[in-house]
Structure 1
Amino acid sequence: MRFTSEDAEKRYDALVRVAARTVVGLDFDGTLSPIVDDPARAHIHPDAPEVLMALAEEVAAIAVITGRPARQALDLGGLEEVGDALDAAGKELFVFGQYGNERWTSSHRRIMGARPPRGLATFERDLPRALRSAGASDAYVEDKGLAVAVHTRRLADPEGAFDRLLPPLRELADRHGLVLEPGKAVIEVRSAGSHKGMVVNRLAAVLDAEGFLFAGDDLGDVEAFEAVEELGDRGLAVLRVCSASSEESALIALSDVVVHGPVGVLELLGRLAADARALREG
């Protein structure tokens, strides 16, 4: 774990002092779950449930905010069981899927979602031609219901295929009124209706938060980092945590703390829980 500045260490200490009124927001892939070639095998780190349950005793709420469908995150993360434990402790677990277009909570247990965006069906119709023109016909296409993700990780030249695909998919998304979200060897196309920053602001307002920590690893988390910084400008105690890897470094310059992958994220969350508990117990 590395603080990026002396000010970042002070931010952490301030967050500990208001832990009981703090919301912890977490990305899924690359933050709670290691990045893998097959998205369907991206299971949560085995230590995560225990760490999250200990953390829940010290903070106001925990939210998993992901580009995945909410049902996928719940199943791959075993998050319904985590929600059971948090609910029993009088705390809430939120799962926001598809960048906030889907919502599940441990108190209501029903996924609330939006309709597929206009233009997505015609985008999918035109997608094979775009893949062929970029020499990436074998890219794995994941239909998320409210979005489409094109994965290049399994191809012989993942980076080259990603670079070739980005311009034509961006043009195709624009033509159909959709937005493009690049990630680690994946290009996601979805509606412009929501992003992680909007979820951060919504949670902070609804829960009357005094602190907010967000941990992410990818370009899709930039809006969340920006929203957290804006909350800090409004007087909240905030901390932005980058789950760093060799594949993506865009978040490092925006971060207060840099850790190495899900293991590092869990170590930081465990430290936050321990420091908050020590302060609470005097």
Structure 2
Amino acid sequence: MSNYLNPVRKLATTDRLLVALDFDGTLSPLVDEPMQARMFPATRAAVNALIDAPETIVALVSGRSLVDLRVIAEHDDASQILLAGSHGAEYWYPDTGLVSHEDHADDARLRDELRAHAEAATAEVDGVWVEPKTFGFGLHTRLVDPAVAPEVQRRVDQLVAAQAPHWRRRTGHNITEYAFRHEGKDTAIAELREHVGATAVLFAGDDVTDEDALKTMGEGDLGIRVGTPPTAATVCVADIAELSTLLTVLSTERSAARQ
């Protein structure tokens, strides 16, 4: 606890705090069946304690499509948790519901065509999953034979490069994402910060795509990496359990500081 206690205590005194959290690998372990991901009970308890803390807003920031994020987060219309899905291209707010940035019919048509072509190009490979996403698709190779995975990746990379060279490509834990929108988690943090009027932000993540947001943490903010360096985060925690402890400490310190 010694490596994060002082930064957490300092953060707890801010006037209006946004706690923004990645989901997969940060609040939930990475699993073979991505739609089966769920928070650990201790993690959910820590998140709920922050929701109840004074002048504290909790948000989930994910590369998942918003519809899938709501499923795995067990999020319903009564929730006070804000959501940023598709790396900040779509949002859910308690006061307005779904807010999605406009896209064009041509983009959606190309998305569907490329996803179908990617599925056809990898159909004979065991373990491949081409995940539909609102603004593109994801290629999952977690269950693919490691000797075969590079060839699967090459096929889909080549397909997208030929038909949609302007798309954004991101890599993560056994996934490559392709999207016709270029927002990143840095975009999501900026929009959420403005929306809630936060005077400070905590952001925690575990993957390469989270570094976009971690690099934007300013003075008074706190970036947390679940895992080991290299990272732009100020604090590293070993795993989800340690992050849950940190969040619990923050909720306790926050409630005490605001009394």
- Please, what TM-score do these two structures have when normalized by structure 1? 0.79
- Within a 5 Å distance, the mapping from 1:72-221 to structure 2 comes to 72-80=68-76, 83=79, 86=80, 93-110=81-98, 112=100, 114-115=102-103, 117=107, 119-128=110-119, 131=122, 136=125, 138-157=127-146, 160-175=147-162, 176=164, 177-221=166-210
Structure 2 distance, partners of 1:151, 1:40, is: 12
2:223 to 228, 234, 240: 240
1:66 aligns with 2:44: no
Q: More displaced, 267-276 or 44-53?
A: 44-53
Question: Which whole-Å deviations, capped at 9, do the CAs of 1:93-139 have from their partners, x for residues lacking one?
Answer: 2111111122111223335354473542342243246547xx94641
Aligned residue for 1:52? 47
The one-letter code matched in structure 1 to 2:159 is L
The one-letter code matched in structure 2 to 1:141 is V
Q: CA RMSD of the aligned region, Å?
A: 2.6
Relative distance call for 1:138 and 1:269 in structure 2 (3 A) is closer
Relative distance call for 1:164 and 1:60 in structure 2 (3 A) is same
CA contact (8 A) 1:2 1:258 kept: no
Give 1:166 shift: 4.3
Give 1:172 shift: 3.5
Structure 2 distance, partners of 1:155, 1:107, is: 42
Q: More displaced, 121-130 or 186-195?
A: 121-130
1:29 to 24, 28, 34: 24
CA contact (8 A) 1:198 1:227 kept: no
Question: Which whole-Å deviations, capped at 9, do the CAs of 1:157-200 have from their partners, x for residues lacking one?
Answer: 2xx44444445544433430211111111111112331110111
Relative distance call for 1:161 and 1:183 in structure 2 (3 A) is farther
Give 1:23 shift: 0.7
Question: Which whole-Å deviations, capped at 9, do the CAs of 1:57-109 have from their partners, x for residues lacking one?
Answer: 234311101011112222221222771xx4xxxxxx21111111221112233
CA contact (8 A) 1:25 1:215 kept: yes
Structure 2 distance, partners of 1:21, 1:162, is: 45
Structure 2 distance, partners of 1:220, 1:263, is: 21
Aligned residue for 1:90? none
Structure 1 distance, partners of 2:78, 2:29, is: 19
Between the two proteins, what is the percent identity of the paired residues? 23
Structure 1 distance, partners of 2:158, 2:60, is: 31
2:33 to 31, 38, 49: 38
Aligned residue for 1:89? none
Gaps of at least 5 residues in structure 2 are none
Structure 2 distance, partners of 1:270, 1:39, is: 26
Aligned residue for 2:248? 270
Count of residues paired in the alignment: 253
Give 1:238 shift: 0.9
Give 1:12 shift: 3.1
CA contact (8 A) 1:33 1:262 kept: yes
Relative distance call for 1:45 and 1:145 in structure 2 (3 A) is same
Relative distance call for 1:48 and 1:10 in structure 2 (3 A) is closer
| Structure showing the higher helix proportion among its residues | 1
CA contact (8 A) 2:127 2:142 kept: no
Structure 1 distance, partners of 2:215, 2:258, is: 30
Structure 1 distance, partners of 2:39, 2:226, is: 14
Structure 2 distance, partners of 1:136, 1:222, is: 31
